[in-house]
Amino acid sequence: MPKPALPRPAAAVTTRALSQAAGLALAAALTIAGPARAVESYQAEDGQTVTVAHGIGTFEALKYPPDFPHLAYVNPDAPKGGEISVWGFGGFDSMHPYTTRGRAGGLASIFFESLMTGTADEVGTSYCLICESLEYPEDRSWVIFNMRPEARFSDGSALTADDVVFSFNVLLEKGLPDFRVVLGQQVESVEKLGDYRVKFTFREGWPTRDLPGLVGGLPIFSEAHYIANDRDFEASSMEPLLGSGPYVLARVSPGQTIVYERNPDYWGWELPIMQGRSNFDRIRIEYYADYDAAFQGFTAGSYTFRTEARAALWSEGYDFPAVQRGHVVRQALPDGNLASGQSFIFNLRRPQFADARVREAIGLMFNYEWSNETLFHGQYARIHSFWENSEMAAEGLPTPEELAILEPLAELLPPGVLTEPAVRAPDSGARQLDRGNLRRASALLDEAGWETIGTDGLRRNAAGQTLQVEFLNDSQSFDRIINPFVENLVRLGVDARHTRVDSAQMTNRERSYDFDIITDQLRMTLIPGSGLKQYFGSETADVSTFNKMGLQSEAVDRLIDIVLATETRDEMIHATRALDRVLRAERFWVPQWFKAEHWVAYYDMFEHPEELPPYALGHLDFWWFNAESAAALRAAGALR
């Protein structure tokens, strides 16, 4: 399920899809933890009514009452045991996911829990996990968490309010730079009120709609373990920090293999929200240098669960013996999440991209329709919006509600936002080079001053410089997509090239903003929150690990503030559409594609609930292992 941007693991697993960060939630609530009873409240000194609750939601009432036995989408009787294994891309040299130093291993945040956690069948809700209940006033200017005294770190030591205060402070002082900037603006103070009671007070002037859930979603680390082991939060390390989650590190081979093991002494096994979850005894990640090698590893049984991201393989590659013999299951499962925002991203810090006409011209040379039919077997849909696959995507001309938001910002907006339909990715023809788009792109570059064409066929500006564009890429599977794009750009007269690097070089160059164009994902959420400032805010543009394009726009900053201040779902939808419209008009991306399905293949020893929740595949969460089926596969020689 998509989550707002908080400290993010420095690397991802299985084509950037399995990275898990500490869960976040958002604001407003209704009932109290424990046996079913009426909503509890009391009067604060300032006269506000304070709600005491077992969970919190943004705009909607909580789905689950205080006495719910388990989440609706899990099998509470799912057996425990077995191993599930997946693949990771490239390599890793750290098990610390909250620093920019090093490349963290996949799922490296699996050890850490938070005061609250979200669900996969609701949007913008969160329920107590380490807390028993929370208290908050009508204006949500503060929140108090009453913690479970039974909560323990994986070494058996108590998890207390001291650890919550410590974790917040270390994230604020030494966490990812863009996160520190935003968090410091949101939270005035955190204080221990008792061994198992902690209070967060929020700064005046910042919208508080999301803040109780946001701080409730921060990861919690052991202060005693950190001090005893003389740890530095900013340093890369293969030794993970101590957490309280249901899995611990069993084995790690740097750059090759990670094995997480279910902790039988995990403190929270009896909690209703944990029923039917964390069912596998082990989660193993096997790393491969490229996509093709990883696929071959799967066909040989080196790992057992694969989320497929290549349409050609999905259409033609799953005819190997294990599939033919029925040993491997191949399924397309529904995915209700937003599109991933996968796109080619311009580095706006580069002078050649300062003119939006240049960026638009380059985007015209990517022929999605040809790529989809020729390379992807027609199985994808084009991304046009940052909130694609949701009602928050801007469509057509601005609505009256959007105009009411945008018109006061008219002088700050890109051309056409108020009077033209929302920017959409261009349509192209059946041939690799669309001549109509080539003519449009040529005219744009002429207007932008790249009108002189030399004997070498390259365009130059008045200073005699060529329009240099480098595509930086660490994925072999993307060669076939980038190379035709480069060929089209060369036909336009652009000095374009494709540079392949390894995953370590890619990480270093991304973090130092040493690139022209990269492929990345701009993952939004169904209830946009303060993560917008990390992705698009001017103040984090030169420190953010998310705002790779370096966007700095006063109009966008103002619109983000409006989105964060919305108080109803309808207000949020209109404000987000207005923001989407402006972001698309900035043309800092060339959107790629998505599908509203999970393509999965796995050895036939895993099972899942008949009806999956809309916002999570959940294979590492609430699927389970069938020991009899696994034994039959081994007897047939299907597994290594």
For 258-284, what is each residue's pLDDT tens digit?
A: 999 999 999 999 999 999 999 999 999
CA 251 to chain centre: 26
Q: Is 117 helix (H, G, I), strand (E, B) or coil?
A: strand
pLDDT of amino acid 382: 97
The domain ranges of the chain are 342-594
286 versus 100: which is more confidently predicted? 286
Tell me how far apart the alpha carbons of residues 58 and 123 are, in angstroms, rounded to a whole number: 8
Please check the confidence at residue 28 and state whether its pLDDT lies above 80: no
Tell me how far apart the alpha carbons of residues 445 and 459 are, in angstroms, rounded to a whole number: 9
Mean pLDDT of 154-169: 98
For 402-443, what is each residue's pLDDT tens digit?
A: 999 999 999 999 999 999 999 999 999 999 999 999 999 999
Mean pLDDT of 463-491: 96
Tell me how far apart the alpha carbons of residues 211 and 174 are, in angstroms, rounded to a whole number: 20
CA distances from 550 to 18, 337, 341, 349, 553 (A): 26, 26, 16, 6, 10
Q: What percent of the chain has pLDDT over 70?
A: 94
pLDDT of amino acid 100: 83
pLDDT of amino acid 640: 78
CA distances from 220 to 10, 52, 109, 122 (A): 18, 22, 11, 24
Tell me how far apart the alpha carbons of residues 65 and 564 are, in angstroms, rounded to a whole number: 27
CA dihedral over 264, 270, 272, 275, signed as positive or negative: positive
Name the maximum alpha-carbon separation found in the chain. Answer: 81
Tell me how far apart the alpha carbons of residues 325 and 265 are, in angstroms, rounded to a whole number: 39
Mean pLDDT of 459-466: 96
Compute the C-alpha angle 455/458/461, nearest 5°: 110
Q: Are 328 and 603 spatial neighbours (Cβ–Cβ below 8 Å)? A: yes
Burial bucket for residue 609 (CB in 10 Å: 0-12, 13-18, 19+): middle
> Residue 102: which pLDDT band, with cuts at 50, 70 and 90?
confident
User: Strand pairing of 606-607 and 624-625?
Assistant: antiparallel
pLDDT of amino acid 477: 87
Compute the C-alpha angle 519/528/144, nearest 5°: 125
Side by side, which strands form the sheet with 305-307?
305-307, 597-603, 328-334
Please check the confidence at residue 20 and state whether its pLDDT lies above 80: no
What tokens were used for 461?
Answer: 């500006």
Helix H or strand E segment including 627: helix 627-635
Please check the confidence at residue 76 and state whether its pLDDT lies above 60: yes
DSSP lists the bridge partners of residue 146 as 133, 197
Q: Are 590 and 425 spatial neighbours (Cβ–Cβ below 8 Å)? A: yes
For 327-337, what is each residue's pLDDT tens digit?
A: 999 999 999 99
Mean pLDDT, all residues of the chain: 92
Please check the confidence at residue 10 and state whether its pLDDT lies above 80: no
CA 584 to chain centre: 20
Domain covering 342-594, topology:
Dipeptide-binding Protein; domain 3 (3.10.105)
> Residue 38: which pLDDT band, with cuts at 50, 70 and 90?
very low
Please check the confidence at residue 36 and state whether its pLDDT lies above 80: no
Helix and strand totals (H; E) in the chain: 17, 27
Please check the confidence at residue 13 and state whether its pLDDT lies above 80: no
Mean pLDDT of 183-187: 93
Burial bucket for residue 104 (CB in 10 Å: 0-12, 13-18, 19+): buried
DSSP state of 299: H
For 526-570, what is each residue's pLDDT tens digit?
A: 999 989 999 999 998 998 889 999 999 999 999 999 999 999 999
Weakest-pLDDT range from 7-16, 42-51, 567-576: 7-16
Please check the confidence at residue 363 and state whether its pLDDT lies above 90: yes
* Residue in 412, 459, 441 with CA at minimum distance from that of residue 590: 441
> Residue 307: which pLDDT band, with cuts at 50, 70 and 90?
very high
pLDDT of amino acid 427: 95
pLDDT of amino acid 176: 86
pLDDT of amino acid 39: 54
For 585-612, what is each residue's pLDDT tens digit?
A: 999 999 999 999 999 999 999 999 999 9
